[in-house]
Amino acid sequence: MPDDLPAAASRRARTKTPKRSEPIDLDILPSLLGYHIRHAQIALWRDFVSSVGEPAIRSGMFSILVLSEANPGIVQTQLSQELDIDKASMVQLIDRLEALGWVQRRRSSEDRRRQGIHLTAEGRKRLKTLKREIVEHERKLTKQLSRTELAELISLLERIYPHEPRRART
Amino acid sequence: MPDDLPAAASRRARTKTPKRSEPIDLDILPSLLGYHIRHAQIALWRDFVSSVGEPAIRSGMFSILVLSEANPGIVQTQLSQELDIDKASMVQLIDRLEALGWVQRRRSSEDRRRQGIHLTAEGRKRLKTLKREIVEHERKLTKQLSRTELAELISLLERIYPHEPRRART
DNA sequence: TATTGTTATACTCTATAACTATA
DNA sequence: TATAGTTATAGAGTATAACAATA
């Protein structure tokens, strides 16, 4: 899950590859979806951290920013639910975004338990840059796929995890 | 990357879902491959831990077992390279498998720096059960996909992460 | 000098549980 | 009683760096 994955792997951190003498037998691994998802996740993660200028931002925090921009005042439980992040973990992520000055919590006057999340002007500015970097990062990673193939890949992935029906987006 | 993900999420751990009042706007998230890979990874992870009888075993350790069975005497650097796990992390994983009595390190006589990994009889027995559980778990997760679609999904995923060319497997 | 494996340390993500305040 | 949010704590995964033994 990685979720997310390692800590500061901006540069390809692992040790130099040794001579590969003979190819190894992968047995059933290549037939397992989990095996490929894991590798894809690692590749995406590595390119994400090296593509995003702001080292403090991880994919989870990016998603929070996007949802907060598109849904001003969204509350933490909604974010938790949509992003499949525990509410206790969400607190820490929002704490960090607030410490960076990118978002603000605003207590709701109707239901004083709730705190809506709002982007600050600074957050909006930074998110704009982030989005550009991340779209570029995605393009780099998926450049071997045609537009149709990418859509097909996403569509197949959506069928293996439970989620709310998506509204059509062009 | 998450790889792997949380700690002990055998039971759907997170809090009860609250009423979803109005659908939220996901903005660009649904167009991002990383967003879907992350969700798929989480879904796979959750089902993995609830499907595998042995709670000590994670997907990384499972892969090590499979490769050690198919390639007796494989060395840690090869495992690290193939599974994209740092060699220092690999040590800990092998330590745990050895403590469980499932694998053995055997010092090579030609190159005394190297230690080949070998399954024990116990390890072979347990791996047999594990494989059955994991094949079943994969079937459950991918049951919405036809055989062709699953092959297509895997093939598309393979094109977004760097890897050695695979030998054909039927 | 380079490689294999190891130890030690630290950081991130996430889960769990107990808690506050509001409803 | 239930919900939104918080705090505290712990565990897994991984990275980094330094190291020992061997080549």
Tens of pLDDT, residues A43-71: 898 888 888 888 888 899 999 999 999 99
The pLDDT of residue A168 is above 80: no
Distance in angstroms, CA of A28 to C1' of C18? 44
Query: In whole angstroms, what is the distance from residue B66 CA to residue B126 CA?
Result: 11
Are the beta carbons of A141 and B152 separated by less than 8 Å?
A: no
B84, pLDDT greater than 70 = yes
- Partner-chain residue, chosen from A5, A17, A69, that has the shortest CB–CB distance to B2: A5
Mean pLDDT, residues B67-82 = 95
pLDDT tens-digit series, residues B22-50: 689 999 999 999 999 999 999 898 888 88
> Bigger pLDDT: A59 or A162?
A59
Lookup: tokens for B101: 């009595």
Interface mutation vs chain B, best among A14, A32, A111, most B CBs within 10 Å: A32
Q: What is the pLDDT of residue A164?
A: 62
Per-residue confidence (pLDDT) for residue B155, from 0 to 100? 96
Residue A8 CA distance to nucleotide D14 C1' (Å): 9
pLDDT for A160 beyond 60: yes
pLDDT for B94 equals: 95
- pLDDT range class, residue B57, cuts 50, 70, 90: confident
Classify residue A160 as exposed, middle or buried by CB count within 10 Å of its CB (0-12, 13-18, 19+). buried
Angstroms from B64 CA to nearest CA on chain A: 10
pLDDT at B11: 31
* Protein-proximal positions, strand D, CB < 7 A: 3-8, 10-18, 21-23
Looking at the predicted structure, is the pLDDT value of residue A4 above 60? no
Predicted confidence (pLDDT) at residue B163 exceeds the cutoff of 80: no
Q: Is the pLDDT of residue B8 over 60?
A: no
Confidence label for B98 from pLDDT (cuts 50, 70 and 90): very high
3-state SS class at B17: coil
DSSP, res B162: -
Phi, psi angles (nearest 5°) of residue B84: 60, 45
Which residue from B24, B42, B131 is facing A71, i.e. has the nearest CB? Answer: B24
pLDDT above 60: residue B7:
no
Tell me: pLDDT of A114 over 60. Answer: yes
The rounded distance, in Å, linking the Cα atoms of A156 and A14 is 31
The separation between CA A8 and the C-alpha centre of its own chain, rounded to angstroms, equals 16
B66 CA to D8 C1' in angstroms comes to 39
pLDDT at A1 over 60: no
Triad B57, B58, B59: Cα angle to 5°: 130
Whether residue B63 has pLDDT greater than 50: yes
Q: Confirm if B30 and A166 have CB atoms less than 8 A apart.
A: yes
- Average per-residue pLDDT for chain A: 84
Determine, for residues B24 and A87 on separate chains, whether the beta-carbon distance falls below 8 Å: no
Hey, how many other C-beta atoms are within 10 angstroms of the C-beta on A79?
22
Nearest CA to A40 among B63, B156, B79?
B156
**Straight-line distance from CA B72 to C1' C17, in Å?**
44
Could you tell me the distance in Å between the CA of residue B112 and the C1' of nucleotide C5?
Answer: 11
Predicted local confidence at residue B38, as pLDDT: 93
What average pLDDT does the segment B90-111 reach?
93
Closest B-chain CA to A43: B161
- In the predicted model, what is the mean pLDDT of residues A151-167? 81
List, as one string, the DSSP characters of chain A: --SS--SS-SS--SPPPPP--SPPP-TTGGG-HHHHHHHHHHHHHHHHHHH-S-TT--HHHHHHHHHHHHSTTEEHHHHHHHHT--HHHHHHHHHHHHHTTSEEEEE-SSSTT-EEEEE-HHHHHHHHHHHHHHHHHHHHHTTTS-HHHHHHHHHHHHTTS--PPPPP--
Nearest CA to A67 out of B28, B34, B21 is that of B28
How far apart, in whole angstroms, are the C-alpha atoms of residue A74 and residue A67? 8
E strand or H helix that includes residue B115: strand B115-119
Bases on strand C under 7 Å from any protein CB? 3-8, 10-18, 21-23
Nucleotide of closest approach to B86 (CA, C1'): D14
Residue B104 β-bridge partners: B118
Residue A89 has pLDDT above 90, yes or no: yes
List of chain A residues whose C-beta atoms are within 8 Å of the C-beta of residue B66: 26-29
Average pLDDT over residues B58-67: 94
Tell me: the pLDDT tens digits for B14-27?
333 344 456 899 99
Q: What is the pLDDT of residue A106?
A: 95
Tally of CB atoms within 10 A around B139: 10
Q: Which residue is nearest to nucleotide C13 (CA to C1')?
A: A4
Residue A38 has pLDDT above 50, yes or no: yes
B22 touches strand D (CB under 7 A): no
- The residue length of chain B stands at 170
Residues of A within 8 A of B158 (CB-CB) are 36
Strand, coil or helix: B84: coil
- Collect all residues of chain A within an 8 Å Cβ-Cβ radius of residue B38: 1-3, 41, 59
pLDDT of residue B53: 84
The tokens for A133 are 């970097």
Residues 96-115 of A with CB under 7 A from strand D: 105, 111, 113-115
What is the per-residue pLDDT for B21? 54
- What pLDDT is recorded for position B164? 61
Q: Which residues lie across from A115 on neighbouring strands? A: A107
Asked if residue A20 has pLDDT above 60, the reply is no
Q: Are A38 and B59 in contact (CB under 8 A)?
A: yes
Mean of per-residue pLDDT scores for chain B = 83
Phi-psi region of A84 (alpha: psi -120 to 50; beta: other; left: phi over 0): left
- pLDDT grade for B169, boundaries at 50, 70 and 90: very low
Strand D proximal residues, A:15-74, Cβ < 7 Å = none
